[in-house]
Each structure stands twice: as C-alpha cells, then as structure tokens.
Amino acid sequence: MARHTPLNEAHRKLGARMVDFAGWDMPVQYSSVIGEHEAVRTGVGLFDVSHMGEVEFTGPGALETVNALISNDLARIADGQAVYAGLLDERGTFVDDVVAYRFSPERILICVNSSNREKDFAWMKSHAQGVAPVDRSDDYAQLAVQGPKAAGLVQRLTKTDLSKLGTYRFTEGEVAGVKCLISRTGYTGEDGFELYSAAGDAVALWDALLTEGQQDGVKPCGLGARDSLRTEMKYALYGNDIDDQHTALEAGLGWIVKLDKAAFIGKEALVAQKAAGVKRKLVGFELTGSGIPRHGYAILKDGAPVGEVTSGTLGPTVKKAIGIGYVPTALSAEGSTFDVDIRGRAVPAVVVKTPFHKKP
Amino acid sequence: MADNIPGDLKYTREHEWARVQGTSVVVGVTQHAQESLGDVVYVELPKVGATVTEGKQFGVIESTKAVSELYSPLTGKVVKVNDGLSDNPSAVNTDPYGAGWIVEIEPSDPKQVDGLLDAAAYTALLQNS
C-alpha cells in the first residue's frame, strides 16, 4: 500500500488528484498544474514535501563523517548554512542528490529524495566512518512555501526576522506556533522556504499557511507544478536527469563537487574524468519544431542517436517546449543543434542558456 | 465533479466522443478525459486525407505532465482537423464538446457509429471504472 504523509487527508479534502509517486500517495495537482505553477512564479504556493527523507549525524566528528560522504564541503560553510551536494558512489555517479544542513560541526542533517530514502540510509550506514547516521524521516514533515510572496506570508506567522535569513541559510523558530527548522531553500527558482516540523504538527502548520495566505492568493501545489517549475530552472531530478549512470561532472554539477577538499567517495573517479575530459554533458534545449520533448526520447544528430532526453515539458512560464538531456560534449555549447526523436519525427532543437526561466 | 455527458453523442471506452454531422463524424475527448489529462498543452493531429482505423492511434494529446494516445472511434478518412488547437490546445479543457473538437472523419461505413456506446452506456462505464 502506498505510504501517506501526515497531510494525506488534507490533500483529499482539498480535492487533490492523488497519484503514486515512488510508493507515496501524493497530490499531483489540486486545480491545474499551470495555475499552480503560475501562483508560485507570481504569488505564493504551498507544497507538501513530507515524503522527502531526513538523515541526521550527531556527535563529535559528524561534519567530517558527512564530508567524506558528500561532494560539497561542509567545512567551508558556517553553522546555520546548508549546501546542495551529491551523494556519490566510487564512480562519481549519483546515489542521490541531497541538501546538507550544518547546525554545528557536531550536528548535520541531510535531506534526501523520497525515492531513495532506504537506499541512501543503507549507503550512508555502510560507508560512514565515524558518526553513525540516524534515519529521522518519519519524525519530520516538510512543507515548501515558494514564490515572491512567500517571505511576506511566513513573516506574518513568525517572530523570526526573515530579512536576516539569506538563501541557503536556516534557523530554528516557530511558524504559526509550530516549532520548525526554517530554511530559505527550494526547488522552484523562486524565493521561499522549506519548513521542517514534527510530523504531528504538519496539519496545523499547513492549515495556518493556507488561511493566512488567503490574502496573498496562496495555492496548494502538487507534484505536477513542482516538476514544471524545477524543469524551467534546469534543476536536476534524481531518476530523470541524474542517476547512477552519469557522473556529477557530466550532469554539469561540477560546482557542487569540491575536488580540493579531503577524500570523499567518488573523488578519484571525478579527478580522473576531469583530467581525461568529460565526453557528454547535460544541456538545456528548446525545440524549434513542433512537439514536446519527454524523458526517454532519443537525441539524434544527422539521423543517428547520440543522446537522450532526461526531462521535458511545455514550460508554463517560458511558454516554450523545453528539455534537458545528455549530449556529446561537441554538441553541448549554446547554439548547438540536434534533433529529438518524437514518435518517429526528427524535431529540431537548439541548446540554450539555462535556467530557461530568468527572473524579470 | 459531475461528468458532463451529452445525450446526443456517441462514446468510446477510450473516452472519446463522436457526433454525426451529415456524412461525417466529429470526434473529440470527453469531459472525463480532459479532467484526467489535466492542462492540455499540445495536440498532435493527423493530416487531412489520412486514413484512420477503429481502435488504432490517430494522434497524441499532451498535458504538462503526460503524453496520451488518441484512438480513432471509426475507420475512415480524415476530412478536417481542428487547426485552432495548435494555438489554443486548452480548448480541449475548457470546451471539450465544442471548440475542443479534434478531427472530423468520413467513415468508410456510416453504420459503424451505431456500434459505439450511447450516453447511458458511457455513464455506466464511468460509474463502474
């Protein structure tokens, strides 16, 4: 049976269409994907992302233990800061992509993808040298409040001064009387917060945000809008754009790989790949012919398959058929052209600068 | 939400509707289909003059999230396609039985239409699904 977040009943009451997502019964949309997408771009949207997992490392040596597991560098950030990172295997390909929160050098919390919760925890448990990980996934609920009006909405419900909370910073505080980890992060390209609360407080927090947000036109948003929003930003989705078949460098995520820090899993492979040259790259492209690129479609050059589309949609804000995919490095520069095989039709496409959506 | 199922149309198990109009038959997708699809953003139409076969794919309808196949309710020839959908695919959502029509088919045998579901049978199909 599909797993439920603490908000399952709340979603059903709102008339959400529920789907199975990685074993979770989740809302894909409440009203319309495009309407929800636009609410986040122009106002504020509320997402239940309680299906995400949380793994905690507590005790002396926590930072060093996690730093040996992830590609980014927790030693380079301050307490109260978070980093996006790869949880890589020895080949430099992804076990998962994660966000690591540094409370202190002795307490690190890692947020992992729902689809990888068990795999990640097992991986961390077997590879952690030092502090042992604790799976906190069932203790936490997580809501994402995203959009230009998110800060105004959350500020009215908290005494924490959000103007002092920069991007990828977090703090502990109360929102609507609920104890939260307030993190200025997200997966939409807009300003906003991810609020981690106790699972039992999730409904109260959700209801308070929807009620207080009425004046902002807040909309509950499902996984459909979450996907179209992140695609317009070319944010990677595990299982689509990144996986255990492509390295962090091929995925264009060199910026989260700190090759100059101490040893971490995948480092040697990436050092070698960097020296040898990356042969394929993840690019963003637009179709110049008609159609919509989709995950799994072949990318063709002169009729021959040379790569694969990993994500694609009709971007509701950019109003173009956009895609993400792996192509040979020779075809990865902006302006490079190739075709996408859409049901047997070779539809022309051009590599463009990303993110597809640029803030006005 | 109550499903809007006009009594004067015929239906398929694949949630398409058919309206007899002179010697040809206009085809679209039902209210139920457009609701399950979500926001329609692209419709791939057959060419005028193309031959279509009952139960076989003749086009594709795409929402932000998914690609769905369109199946022909009849065997025959495409005599018109709704070109308006290229600029306004959302007509499938807003007016599935009107501006959101998809193709007009001239059936090779006009009696084929009698084999489709009537509104009562389609209503029953939805209730039992």
Q: Rounded mean pLDDT of B94-103?
A: 97
| The two structure tokens encoding residue B96 | 């599935």
Is the CB of B94 inside 8 Å of chain A's CB atoms?
Answer: no
CATH of B11-127, one of 2.40.50.100, 3.40.50.720, 3.40.50.620, 3.30.930.10: 2.40.50.100
Residue A111: the pLDDT is 98
Torsion region of A223: left, alpha or beta (phi above 0 gives left; psi -120 to 50 gives alpha): alpha
Which chain A residue shows the shortest CA-CA distance from B65? A224
Give the CA radius of gyration of chain A: 20
A292 to B39: CB separation less than 8 angstroms, yes or no = no
Interface test mutation site (partner B, options A28, A40, A314, A318, max chain B beta carbons within 10 A): A314
Which chain B residue shows the shortest CA-CA distance from A29? B38
**Higher model confidence: residue A216 or residue B1?**
A216
Cis peptide bond prior to A348, omega within 30° of 0: no
pLDDT of B2 above 60 = no
Cβ-based contacts of A29 with chain B (< 8 Å) = 38
CA–CA distances in Å: residue A127 to residues A120, A124, A169: 10, 5, 28
CATH of A8-52+138-232, one of 3.30.1360.120, 2.60.130.10, 3.40.50.1390, 3.40.630.30: 3.30.1360.120
pLDDT in tens, A280-304: 999 999 999 999 999 999 999 999 9
Amino acid in the structure at residue A49: V
- Cβ-based neighbours of A305, under 8 Å, separated by 6 or more: A298, A299, A341
- How many C-beta atoms lie closer than 10 Å to residue A337's C-beta? 12
Where do the structural domains in chain A lie, given as residue ranges? 8-52+138-232, 53-135, 279-351
Q: Are A40 and A188 in contact (CB under 8 A)?
A: yes
- Cβ-based neighbours of B24, under 8 Å, separated by 6 or more: B79, B80, B104, B105, B106, B107
pLDDT in tens, A319-332: 999 999 999 999 99
Q: Are A49 and A27 in contact (CB under 8 A)?
A: no
SS3 state at A196: strand
Segments of B31-126 assigned E as strands: 40-44, 51-52, 57-63, 67-71, 76-81, 103-107
CATH superfamily to which A53-135 belongs? Aminomethyltransferase beta-barrel domains (3.30.70.1400)
Residue B128: the pLDDT is 83
Is the CB of A227 inside 8 Å of chain B's CB atoms?
Answer: yes
How remote is the C-alpha of A360 from its chain's centroid? Answer: 22
Locate tokens 């492509």: which residue?
Answer: A246
Chain A with chain B: Cβ pairs closer than 8 A: 40
pLDDT in tens, B31-87: 999 999 999 999 999 999 999 999 999 999 999 888 999 999 999 999 999 999 999
| The two structure tokens encoding residue A155 | 């500020």
Domain A279-351 fold: Elongation Factor Tu (Ef-tu); domain 3 (2.40.30)
Q: Are A310 and A240 in contact (CB under 8 A)?
A: yes
Residue B1: the pLDDT is 43
Q: Are A32 and B39 in contact (CB under 8 A)?
A: yes
Cβ-based contacts of B41 with chain A (< 8 Å) = 34, 292, 314
Count of all residues that appear for chain B in the document: 129
Residue A88: the pLDDT is 98
Residues of chain A with pLDDT below 50 are: none
Is the CB of A319 inside 8 Å of chain B's CB atoms?
Answer: no
Closest by CA to A17, choosing from B83, B82, B56, B1, is B1
Which chain A residue shows the shortest CA-CA distance from B36? A17
Count of all residues that appear for chain A in the document: 360
Residues 55-74 of B with CB under 8 A from A: 60, 62-65, 67
ipTM: 0.85
Rounded CA-CA distance A53/A110 in Å is 8
Locate tokens 């990685």: which residue?
Answer: A22
